[in-house]
Structure 1
C-alpha cells in the first residue's frame, strides 16, 4: 500500500532533506508554496493543492508545466489548502502520511495544522508531522511501541483536549504505571528511551507524542 508525503508552505529552513523520504510506492503532494518547494528539491508532485497565491508567476508556470494534476481553489474557502490535501490523502487509504512544512511561522496555522492530525485517527492512518527538530503524532487509546532514534532522543507526551487515563510508559528513563494526565499537565515532557524500544499504552483520551532534538 502506498505512502503519502505532503509538503506545505511553511518556512523552508524547517523542512528537512526531503530526499531522505523518497521511497518506492510514495506519492508526493504539494500544498500551495510547498508544491514549489518540491520542484526546487527536484521532486515533481503527483498532486498539488491550493490557491497558489503565495508563489510567483514563474513558479506557477513551472508547476503547471511539471505537475500532472493541480487542484486549484479560490482563496476564500471554508477549509485550508492543507485540510483539502489531507482529506484527499486519507481517501486514498495509504499506509502512512507524512507532513512537512507545516510548523513554524504563524502560530494559528501551526495549531490548526496540529488539530488536523485528529482527522486521521478514525481512519487508523499512521500520520506524522515532521520538521528538522520535531516529529509529532497523535494516538487514540491502545498499546504502542516506539523505537529509539538517536537523532530525536527526547520523547514527550501531551493530552489533546481531555484527560488521558491509565497512561503507562515502559522502557523510558521516567516510567509510568496507569497514571492519569490532565490537560495542562507537563508531567510527561522531555522523557528519553533507555532501551532500543519502548512501549506506551492508555485507555481513554487522545495523546500527542513529540520526538525532538535540541
Structure 2
C-alpha cells in the first residue's frame, strides 16, 4: 500500500512535537502502549494499538479499547519491546513507504539504545532506510553503504554522523568539519558538525551510519521540520 506509517510510543511527553504530529494526522497511525492514549488525547484515533500497556492506567487502557478497532495486548515478559511490536505491525499489515516513530527517544538510556539499534536487527533491517526517529530535539535517519545528499532541517543547527557498526570509507566532503575515507572497527559519534548551506553530501563503503540532526534544549520552540 506504500503508506506513510507513524508510530507513537510512550517516551517522555515533553519531547514529542505535537505541532508536527498534527500535520501528519491524515496519515496512518499506530499507538504503542501509552502512545495510543496520547494520540486519542490529541484527536487522532490510531488504526492499531498494541503493547503490554504497563505504562497505561486501567482507565487509559479501557479508553483505548473503546476507541480503537484493533488492540493487541502482550504480556510484560515478551521477546520484543513495545516499539519493536509497533514496527512489526507496520511491516505485517502495510507496505510502508516510511515508518516515523515519535516519542522513542529521551528518558531511560537502555530504552533509547534499544530503539537506536533496532533497525540493525532482523527482521527490521530490510526497512532500515525507511525508519525515522523524531522528537523536539532530534531527527534520526539510518543509512546503508552508498553516496547520499541530505537536507538541513531548519530548526536543527547540529549534524552528527554515528557509525553504529564498523565502517569503512566514511567521507564528509562538504560539511563544516570534513572527513576523508575514515575507517573504524568501533562505533563513533562524530557530533556537533554542521551543514554548509542547506544541502550536504556524505558517503561510505561498508557499515551502518545514523545521521542525527539536533538542537539544544534552550532553543526549543515549535518544530516544523519533518515532512
TM-score by length of 2: 0.86
SS of residue in 1 equivalent to 2:91 = helix
- Residue pairs, 1:15-94, within 5 angstroms: 15-17=16-18, 18-22=20-24, 24=26, 26-91=27-92, 92-94=94-96
Q: Is the 8 A contact 2:164 2:187 kept in 1?
A: no
Which position in structure 2 is the counterpart of 1:170? Answer: 173
Q: Is the 8 A contact 2:156 2:215 kept in 1?
A: yes
CA gap of 1:166–1:125, structure 2 versus 1, over 3 A, is closer
Which position in structure 2 is the counterpart of 1:205? Answer: 207
The structure 1 segments of at least 4 consecutive aligned residues displaced by more than 6 Å after TM superposition are: none
Q: Deviations over 1:129-167 (max 9, x none)?
A: 1111011122111111111222012110111132x1111
Residue among 127, 135, 143 paired with 1:123:
127
TM-score by length of 1: 0.91
Consecutive unaligned residues in structure 2, runs of 5 or more: 217-227
Please report the RMSD computed on the Cα atoms of aligned residues, expressed in angstroms. 1.8
Which position in structure 2 is the counterpart of 1:158? Answer: 162
Consecutive unaligned residues in structure 1, runs of 5 or more: none
Q: For 1:196 and 1:14, how far apart are their aligned partners in 2?
A: 25
Q: How many residues align?
A: 211
1:195 aligns with 2:169: no
Between 1-10 and 110-119, the greater mean CA deviation after superposition:
110-119
Which position in structure 1 is the counterpart of 2:140? Answer: 136
Q: For 1:3 and 1:167, how far apart are their aligned partners in 2?
A: 30
